[in-house]
Structure formats: C-alpha cells, structure tokens
C-alpha cells in the first residue's frame, strides 16, 4: 500500500506551489470582501418501519416466533463548515439509534476533512469523508442507512468547470489502534478493508449530452489473526455510461471483479446494468431497467437444520462493494444486504418497470420488479419472486421533507429455500420518514 500513498503524497506536494499562488490571488480578489465563511447546520432524520414476513425460520420447531417487527430509528447530525480562499474544512458529528434502546444509540464522527484547491484545478482532500461516484452503485454514501458511509482517505484530483475531463484518486490505510510493534493486522474494524486505492476518470463533452467514467479499485482484505495473517488483494474495473438528451435518459454500466478474497479464493465475478427513462411532460415519467449480477456455480440449498457443504474453487458471486445498495435490487433490501444460508451468492437478475408522477412539490413513484437468480439452483427454478413498490416524497419546504413507502413481495419456493424465509411467501414492508435540515448560521468576517 506504500506505493499508492507515495503517489498521492507526491501529487499533494506538486500542487502546493499552485495552492500558495491561488491563495495569494484569492487574497487579492477579496481585499475588499470578508474572506472567512463559517456555516452551522443540522439534520434530523426519523424513520418508522413495519415489517411482516421474511424472517429466517427457526430450527427449533417448538419455538413460537412471530414474523413481525416494528421500530423507529433516527439520525441527528450537526455540521460545521469553514472556508477561506483556497482552503475549506468540514466536521460532521452524528447520533444514530432506535427509539427507546437501552444504550442510548451511537455517537460517531461522520466527516472531518480539510480541502485545498489550486488555481489550475488540482485539489487535495484529507480526512474522513463521504465518497460518491457516478450512480453510486459501486461507491456511494449509502444515506438510506442511518449511519451512512464515509472513509478515512487521502484524495487528490483535478476538476475544472472549463474542461471536459475530471480525475480523482484516493487511498486509505486502516488500523485498529496505535501500536509500537506490529499493528499490521486489521479485522472487524470500522471499515471492512485493510487498505484501498481507487482511480476514477470522467469525460463529459460540452456539446454532446453524454458522459463516460472509468473506475479501478484495489482493495486489501486480511485473514487470520494477529500472530499469523495474510493480506489478499482483490480488484474491480469497469465503466459507467450516460446519455441525457432533453426528454430521454439512458445509462449503462459494467464492472468486473478479480484477484483473491480474504479466504485466498480466486475471484471471477461481474455485473452489468442498463436503465432508460422518458419524460412525457413535466409531470409524468416512465422508466425501465435490468440488472445482472453473477453468482456462484453449484450453489447449494442445505436442508433445514443442516449445514450443507460444497467446495468452491472460484468465487463468482459479485460483491456490491461500497455502494448505495438501497437504490438498487429492490427497496426491501432483501438481496445483498443479508447473507444467504450457505454464505455464497447465487447472483441476481432484476428487471423492473415504473412510472413517476410529479405534481407541484410531490413525487409519486410506482414500480414492479421481477427477481431471479443467475446461477442454477438444484431442485429449484431461478425465479425468486415479484415485488411491487410505492413511494411518495413531499418537499414541504426547501429544508423539510416527508416520505412514505410500501413494498410487497410475493416470494417463490426458491426464495424460501435460499433465505429460509417465512413459509407463506408474502413479505410486507411499510415506512414513514421525516427529514429536517435547517441552516442555523452563515457568517462572514
């Protein structure tokens, strides 16, 4: 991991003279203005959920387990921002928890970073930060989850509104604690990886409504214990394409995973997705799409009460990595958010159709999803089920939003076997959320 860090550090050192020059130019330009800006804002996000169906069945036939759950979870976030010329900084502290829980929830530092910009478009950003690229399928802030996602990384890049090209690279190196000896083994920490290096490039021509991105990621995962361990590196490479003329939008993506996982198993996995939208007018939009994520061959469905072992020589189940998973593969998060009974993945095919209605400051979304595995399932077909989804978003004011949703899935016997879900095969999920994001202070001096 030293080479990527050295590369990023050298990039930072290379842009420092331009940062100084840009700071001098900024100081001259704001000689008659107030150069310092401070902002203080907050967010309250509360979501209540009711679920029925889908709970893993118990092996104890005498136990009385009600397949039903209801709860209210919340997030409170306080954000402080500062900017002076070419330098800026942000600190974000958040509390997450479930109403009434005994440990009073969790308080953590969501973001804490400093950023420096040069006059030629180069920049460097260091610290804990939320990362988001393209449609957030591979890397996103996963904001639906209360804790959301952020990473401790050093990021450098180039961006200018006057150019068609953008490029970013970031690297991270994780430890569980400060150690004077050893300290290179990392497992079950705040992040799933020991180290990471990612390179992203985006091309967006001015006169043509297209965009193209290339992404490469190298992730080191550790296996073993502090006395004996190995670091296995897995890679991901792919592209994201978009075409956005006036009333039509289309996007496509393809990613391939290779290398080895933390269990030293070779990885040969891939995914592909397409989506298209058409605006009939300012209020009505129709869309359709298809996702294909590869799965492991010879996928076993062990009988109830048994383990069922099959030796796999290659991992072919695609990992959704660090993306905003809730945006894809069905709103119920029944896939790629919870493990299958064998630990491997049969893959997923998801075809969907939907319509959006946008009257005034309200957005209504109604969609249908057809789910199936990509790998064959012994003694079962590949169909997993049908899912209907409804969501309504009401932007009450510019900083206040009320949302509600309902999803229903009619699962098949294959879904029941893979997930050991409830026997009736009918899954219900409803939720209601409220978000308020006021800005308390914005001052200049």
According to the model, what pLDDT value does residue 256 have? 98
> If pLDDT is split at 50, 70 and 90, which confidence band does 1 have?
very low
Q: 263 or 117, which is more confident?
A: 117
pLDDT in tens, 223-238: 888 788 889 999 999 9
Rounded distance between C-alpha atoms, residue 47 and residue 110, angstroms = 19
Question: Which residue, 213, 290, 198, 278, is CA-closest to 244?
Answer: 278
Percentage of the chain beyond pLDDT 70 is 83
According to the model, what pLDDT value does residue 178 have? 80
Q: 280 or 261, which is more confident?
A: 280
pLDDT in tens, 32-78: 578 999 999 999 999 999 998 766 655 555 444 567 889 999 999 99
CATH architecture, domain 2-57+65-444: Beta Barrel (2.40)
Rounded distance between C-alpha atoms, residue 135 and residue 251, angstroms = 9
pLDDT in tens, 431-443: 999 999 999 999 9
Tell me what the mean pLDDT of segment 5-15 comes to.
Answer: 59
> If pLDDT is split at 50, 70 and 90, which confidence band does 255 have?
very high
User: What's the mean per-residue pLDDT of the chain?
Assistant: 87
Tell me what the mean pLDDT of segment 344-368 comes to.
Answer: 94
According to the model, what pLDDT value does residue 339 have? 57
Tell me what the mean pLDDT of segment 145-166 comes to.
Answer: 93
According to the model, what pLDDT value does residue 161 have? 83
Q: How far is CA 228 from CA 159, 272, 299, in A?
A: 43, 38, 31
Domain chopping of the chain, boundaries: 2-57+65-444
Rounded distance between C-alpha atoms, residue 166 and residue 21, angstroms = 22
> If pLDDT is split at 50, 70 and 90, which confidence band does 244 have?
very high
């Amino acid at each position: 991991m030293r080479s990527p860090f050295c590369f990023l550090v050298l990039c930072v050192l290379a842009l420092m003279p331009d940062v100084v020059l840009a700071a001098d130019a900024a100081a001259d330009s704001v000689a008659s203005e107030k150069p310092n800006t401070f902002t203080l804002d907050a967010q309250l996000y509360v979501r209540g959920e009711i679920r029925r169906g889908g709970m893993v069945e118990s092996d104890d036939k005498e136990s009385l387990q009600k397949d039903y759950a209801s709860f209210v979870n919340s997030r409170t976030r306080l954000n402080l921002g500062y900017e002076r010329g070419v330098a800026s900084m942000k600190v974000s502290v958040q509390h997450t928890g479930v109403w009434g829980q005994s440990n009073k929830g969790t308080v953590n530092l969501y973001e804490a970073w400093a950023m420096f910009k040069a006059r030629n478009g180069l920049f460097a950003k260091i610290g804990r930060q939320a990362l988001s690229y393209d449609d957030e399928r591979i890397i996103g802030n996963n904001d639906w989850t209360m804790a959301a996602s952020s990473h401790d990384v050093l990021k450098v890049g180039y961006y200018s509104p006057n150019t068609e090209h953008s490029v970013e690279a970031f690297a991270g190196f994780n430890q569980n604690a400060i150690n004077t000896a050893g300290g290179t083994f990392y497992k079950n920490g705040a992040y799933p990886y020991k180290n990471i290096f990612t390179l992203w490039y985006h091309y967006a021509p001015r006169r043509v409504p297209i965009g193209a991105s290339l992404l490469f990621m190298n992730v080191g995962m550790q296996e073993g214990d502090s006395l004996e361990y190995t670091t296995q590196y897995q890679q991901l490479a792919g592209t994201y394409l978009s075409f956005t003329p006036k009333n039509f939008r289309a996007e496509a993506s393809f990613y391939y995973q290779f290398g080895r996982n933390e269990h030293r198993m070779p990885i040969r996995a891939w995914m592909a997705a397409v989506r298209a939208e058409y605006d009939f007018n300012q209020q009505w939009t129709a869309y359709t799409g298809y996702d294909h994520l590869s799965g492991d061959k010879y996928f076993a469905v062990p009988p109830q009460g048994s383990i069922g072992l099959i030796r796999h020589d290659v991992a072919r189940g695609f990992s959704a990595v660090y993306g905003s998973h809730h945006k894809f593969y069905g709103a119920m998060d029944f896939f790629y958010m919870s493990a299958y009974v064998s630990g491997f993945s049969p893959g997923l095919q998801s075809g969907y159709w939907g319509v959006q209605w946008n009257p005034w400051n309200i957005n209504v979304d109604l969609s249908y999803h057809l789910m199936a595995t990509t790998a064959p399932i012994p003694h079962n077909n590949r169909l997993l089920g049908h899912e209907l989804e409804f969501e309504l978003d009401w932007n009450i004011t510019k900083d206040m939003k009320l949302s509600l949703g309902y999803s229903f899935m009619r699962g098949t016997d294959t879904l029941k076997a893979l997930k050991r879900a409830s026997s009736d095969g009918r899954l219900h999920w409803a939720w209601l959320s409220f978000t308020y994001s006021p800005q308390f202070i914005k001052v200049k001096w």
